[in-house]
Amino acid sequence: MGSKKQITYENSNVIEVGFGTAFKRGNWLTKLSAIIFGLGNILNKQFVRGLLYLSLELAYLYYMITFGVTALKDLITLGTVAQIEVFNEEKQIYEYIVGDNSMLCLLYGVLTVVITLAIIYCMTGSVKSAYDTQRRKELGGSIPNFLDDLNSLKQRNLHKAMLFTPVLGVISFTIIPLIFMILIAFTNYDKSHQPPGNLFDWVGFANFKALFAEGSMLSNTFWPILGWTITWAIFATFSCYILGMILAIVINREGTRFKGFWRFLFVLSIAIPQFVSLLTMRTIFNTNGPVNSLLRTLGVIGIRESIPFLTHPTLAKITIICINIWIGVPYTLLTTTGILQNIPKDLYEAAKVDGANVFVTFFKITLPYMLFITTPNLITSFVGNINNFNVIYLLSGGGPDSLEYYAAGKTDLLITWLYRLTITEKDYNIGSVIGIITFILLATVSLITYRRSKSYKDEEAFQ
Amino acid sequence: MKKKKNRSIKRFITNSIVHIILAILGAIWVLPIIFVILTSFREESGGYKSYILPRGYTLDNYKNLFIQQGSLNFPRWFINTLIVSICTCILSAFFVLCVSFVMSRLRFKMRKRMMNIALILGMFPGFMSMIAIYYILKGFGLLDAGPLKLLALVMVYSGGSGLGFYIAKGFFDTIPKTIDEAAYIDGATKWDVFRKITIPLSKPIIVYTLLTSFMGPWIDYIFAKVILGQDRSYYTVGIGLWTMLEKEFIEYYYTQFFAGCVIISIPIAILFLKTQKFYVEGVSGSVKG
């Protein structure tokens, strides 16, 4: 081979640099590509690539001139002209003159910011691409044409091709809505500031202050609900985990027969859509439902009496946790059976020789082993339980309602309260604050535990 | 000799107790299901009864469910849900498989960062973004007409599904890399490897991904409720059935509600029992070895 380093398109690690380096080391053409996208490519005969970049920039400029600049301005003011009522003398009626819609201002503002970020990303791409071409020329390599570019999508740039649509989906259906909702936490978008009739405006941290202000109705609602959410998550997670594991052990033990049959019996309840089983449970425990009728027939309670399973504040909480055990235990059974069989048998034999009974072996051997392995699962289910909308909403609907609470009931979790605040009460600002707090709660819990877990540390261990 | 006999008696007693407890627990777990099935065949109309076992049995609840063309139109809901779930499962399976292959097999600069972002995004309460999505869809006029609402629902279900790549990624991680390397030596591109090696080897996880995303629309309640609003003829099965239990309908539709539950539970139960192996592997995927 010749002494000159052969630069082929595939062997291109030399040219892979960040935006900063590309811009610093690039010649004037490369630098100019930051302002006129694709310039470096077009002048080097990579017409299609260059024109694609250029057309993106032109489209962005057109968008900004026709719409974007106003959208950004509106994002700052959130609209200035309120809708007004004017008496029309001719028709003898009140007419509405359309004002600014703060909600749309915020939405389009966020969209414009995201589009701007995307175009900045394109700008770095344009500079990098120009630098790439510049280097190839300097090193005397071949300059790829558009066909090469397309082919690179199957090889070097496969990740870009394959991630494009999913990432687009995530950005538009998860990230943009999230940014939008987070921003609402800093506005006064509540039921007395509903667009299009009224404007809402930025209020800084006022909503957070209102929520934490001592003695206010909001904070009197927030703290008990937070307490119940955490209690619920702990009880729900560990009751299902431990009971499910015990069930799995009992089914697995030597003397038990028809193992498959028992497992099938319990797993059957997962196979039924959750909302069906939850609605059924609600019916069963209703004031006039089967359980109460049964108790009446048996004479445990009077003919006209009923046990308020889901309407008494404390009893409702207990009922919900019990029903959740019914729902959750089969999941644990399903996931732990296999792991339990992997626990080394000699551990148990050694314990037996030492005279340990069933409880000691469970708490000293089984539980620590299982905890060690299933911590990630446990975190997922803890997080899932804090966000467990279905169980609460479909069973009790958050009720029984309480007058001491602001738009919440005694069994409401943060997440169901959030639902009620936004969907029923239209207090979006408080709802959004609740959402952020829930996120902080979850993020702290899971980051602390997750980063310690084995599966995070050696992600590549099994490859 | 006596001691041995004693021990076997003791074992017999423990075993009996264990089986009795299991039977009781099993009954607790199965009874609600039996209750659903029995009530779905109940002859007496009306809501709650003061007895549990129906006095008479009939198939009319199922028949009515499919014949009725009133304001609660079950066949219509069924077709709506079917359309939504087929579109959703194709789109989300495509998203999930792409993302998980990329995260498992390709190495690039942003990879680790993207995975962390996905993890963090997963911690926001799901419908915190719901309201915003609702307004975005409304802003684009997707909530003006019924059929468009169904399209919007498909987009909502599948849009963010790329974030749920962990299970499929865990599966791809277990395919030995040596197979890929052999293919690269033969001149295959990465795309070829995905198409001709990874995909054929991943049938179980593809089936799993397709099925879980197919089942989503059948069991979802919240998102459908927010998106579809009051327009009953475009309801999916989930909210439709919920509506049947509302005060104005419950007296008439109570038994039909259970018939509807049985009808959608059967296919889902079969799908679940068929795929539970993958579920278990997926959930405990991180603990192999």
A103 touches chain B (CB under 8 A): yes
pLDDT at A16: 66
Q: What is the ipTM of this complex?
A: 0.81
A172 touches chain B (CB under 8 A): yes
A419 touches chain B (CB under 8 A): yes
* DSSP H helix total and E strand total for chain B: 14, 0
Nearest by CB to A290, from B35, B123, B190: name it: B35
Q: Which residues does chain B have within 8 Å of residue A325's beta carbon, measured at their own beta carbons?
A: none
Q: What percent of chain B has pLDDT over 70?
A: 91
Secondary structure of A51-111 in HEC code, one letter for each residue? HHHHHHHHHHHHHHHHHHHHHHHHHHHCCCCCCEEEEECCCCEEEEECCCCHHHHHHHHHH
Nearest by CB to B177, from A174, A414, A463: name it: A463
B189 touches chain A (CB under 8 A): yes
Sign of the torsion angle spanned by Cα atoms A18, A24, A30, A33: positive
User: Cβ B160–A247 below 8 Å, yes or no?
Assistant: no
**Cβ pair A55, A65 in contact under 8 A:** no
Residue A112's pLDDT band (cuts 50, 70, 90): very high
Among A283, A382, A454, most B C-beta atoms within 10 A, so best to mutate, is: A283
Distance from CA of A90 to the nearest CA of B (A): 33
Q: Which residues does chain A have within 8 Å of residue B270's beta carbon, measured at their own beta carbons?
A: 271
Q: Mean of the pLDDT values across residues A367-381?
A: 78
Pick from B110-114, B147-151, B175-179, B271-275: least confident: B271-275
Pick from A107-111, A262-266, A367-371: least confident: A367-371
Q: What percent of chain B has pLDDT over 90?
A: 7
A58 has pLDDT over 90:
yes
More confident residue, B133 or A17: B133
Among B193, B271, B286, most A C-beta atoms within 10 A, so best to mutate, is: B286
**Neighbouring-strand partners of residue A202:** A187
Q: Which residues does chain B have within 8 Å of residue A288's beta carbon, measured at their own beta carbons?
A: 47-48, 50
The two tokens of residue A314 are: 């404390």
Which range has the top average pLDDT, A106-120, A347-361, B61-75, B141-155? A106-120
User: Cβ A162–B99 below 8 Å, yes or no?
Assistant: yes
Residue written as token pair 């959004």 = A432
Q: At what angle do helices B247-283 and B2-40 cross, to 10 degrees?
A: 140
More confident residue, B10 or A374: B10
Among A121, A163, A380, most B C-beta atoms within 10 A, so best to mutate, is: A163
pLDDT at A458: 54
pLDDT digits (tens, 9 = 90+) for B203-215: 878 888 888 888 8
Residue B134's pLDDT band (cuts 50, 70, 90): confident
Whole-angstrom distance, CA of residue A4 vs CA of residue A12: 15
Whole-angstrom distance, CA of residue B188 vs CA of residue B111: 23
The two tokens of residue B209 are: 């991904």
DSSP A13: G
B203 touches chain A (CB under 8 A): no
User: Cβ A166–B156 below 8 Å, yes or no?
Assistant: no
Residue B88's pLDDT band (cuts 50, 70, 90): very high
Pick from A406-415, B123-132, B248-257: least confident: B123-132
Q: Mean of the pLDDT values across residues A163-179?
A: 89
pLDDT at A293: 81
User: Cβ B288–A266 below 8 Å, yes or no?
Assistant: no
pLDDT at A61: 93
**Cβ pair A310, A282 in contact under 8 A:** yes
Q: Mean of the pLDDT values across residues B127-146?
A: 79
Please give the span between the terminal C-alpha atoms of chain B, in angstroms, as a whole number: 44
A5 has pLDDT over 60:
no
Amino acid at A73: K
Residue written as token pair 């467990």 = A388
A440 touches chain B (CB under 8 A): no
Chain mean pLDDT for chain B: 82
Residue A231's pLDDT band (cuts 50, 70, 90): very high
Residue A454's pLDDT band (cuts 50, 70, 90): low
Amino acid at A4: K
Q: Radius of gyration of chain B from Cα atoms?
A: 25
The two tokens of residue B289 are: 């070895």
Nearest 10 degrees: Cα torsion B238, B239, B240, B242: 100
Chain mean pLDDT for chain A: 82
pLDDT at A8: 45
Q: Which of A45, A61, A21 is nearest to A30 (CA)?
A: A21
B138 touches chain A (CB under 8 A): no
Neighbours of A407 (CB within 10 A): 18
A60 has pLDDT over 90:
yes
Q: What residues contact A312, with CB distance under 8 A and at least 6 apart? A: A400
B289 has pLDDT over 50:
no
Q: Radius of gyration of chain A from Cα atoms?
A: 31
Q: Mean of the pLDDT values across residues A208-217?
A: 85
Prediction pTM value: 0.80
**Cβ pair B87, B156 in contact under 8 A:** no
Q: Mean of the pLDDT values across residues A294-316?
A: 82
Pick from A53-57, A111-115, B66-70, B159-163: least confident: B66-70
pLDDT digits (tens, 9 = 90+) for A131-159: 888 888 888 777 788 888 888 888 788 88
Residue A9's pLDDT band (cuts 50, 70, 90): very low
SS3 A158: helix
pLDDT at A452: 66
User: Cβ A276–B265 below 8 Å, yes or no?
Assistant: yes
Burial of B39 (0-12, 13-18, 19+ CB in 10 A): buried
Whole-angstrom distance, CA of residue B207 vs CA of residue B282: 13
Exposed e or buried b per residue across A249-265, where buried means at least 16 C-beta atoms within 10 angstroms of its C-beta = bbbbeeeeeeeeebbeb
Longest dimension (CA), chain A: 101
Q: What residues contact A142, with CB distance under 8 A and at least 6 apart? A: A7, A8, A9, A136
User: Cβ B98–A162 below 8 Å, yes or no?
Assistant: yes
Neighbours of B194 (CB within 10 A): 23
SS3 A253: coil
- Give the CATH H-level superfamily of domain A212-457: MetI-like (1.10.3720.10)
Residue written as token pair 């990624």 = B169
User: Cβ B32–A284 below 8 Å, yes or no?
Assistant: yes
Q: Which of B204, B196, B172, B183 is nearest to B278 (CA)?
A: B204
B26 touches chain A (CB under 8 A): yes
Distance from CA of A119 to the nearest CA of B (A): 18
* DSSP H helix total and E strand total for chain A: 22, 2
Which range has the top average pLDDT, A222-231, B68-77, B162-171? A222-231
B272 has pLDDT over 80:
no
Q: Which residues does chain A have within 8 Å of residue B264's beta carbon, measured at their own beta carbons?
A: 273, 276
Whole-angstrom distance, CA of residue B196 vs CA of residue B200: 6
Q: Supply φ then ψ for residue A187, to 5 degrees.
A: -120, 175
Q: H or E stretch including A281?
A: helix A274-284
The two tokens of residue B232 are: 């009953």
Q: Where do the structural domains in chain A lie, given as residue ranges?
A: 5-204, 212-457
Q: Which residues does chain A have within 8 Å of residue B18's beta carbon, measured at their own beta carbons?
A: 250, 253, 255-256
Cα A7 from chain centroid (whole Å): 44
pLDDT at A181: 85
Q: Name the A residues in 352-381 with CB < 8 Å from any B CB.
A: 373-374, 376-377
Burial of A402 (0-12, 13-18, 19+ CB in 10 A): middle
Q: Name the A residues in 205-224 with CB < 8 Å from any B CB.
A: none
User: Alpha carbon of B25 to those of A244, A320, B131, B265: distances in Å?
Assistant: 12, 18, 41, 22
DSSP B52: S
Whole-angstrom distance, CA of residue B217 vs CA of residue B274: 19
Whole-angstrom distance, CA of residue A171 vs CA of residue A165: 10
DSSP B123: T
User: Cβ A330–B286 below 8 Å, yes or no?
Assistant: no
Whole-angstrom distance, CA of residue B128 vs CA of residue A441: 15
Q: What percent of chain A has pLDDT over 70?
A: 93
pLDDT digits (tens, 9 = 90+) for B213-229: 888 888 787 788 888 87
Which range has the top average pLDDT, A244-248, A397-401, B213-217? A244-248
Whole-angstrom distance, CA of residue B41 vs CA of residue B62: 8
pLDDT digits (tens, 9 = 90+) for B5-59: 787 888 888 888 888 999 999 998 888 888 888 888 888 777 776 666 778 888 8
Q: Name the A residues in 25-54 with CB < 8 Å from any B CB.
A: none
The two tokens of residue B79 are: 């077709």
A196 has pLDDT over 90:
no
User: Cβ A273–B226 below 8 Å, yes or no?
Assistant: no
pLDDT at A160: 86
Q: How many CB pairs under 8 A join A and B?
A: 260
Nearest by CB to B162, from A104, A170, A277: name it: A170
A304 touches chain B (CB under 8 A): no
A-chain residue closest to B218, CA distance = A273
User: Cβ A172–B159 below 8 Å, yes or no?
Assistant: yes
A154 touches chain B (CB under 8 A): yes
Amino acid at A312: H
Q: At what angle do helices A313-342 and A274-284 cross, to 10 degrees?
A: 140
Nearest by CB to A159, from B106, B119, B128: name it: B106
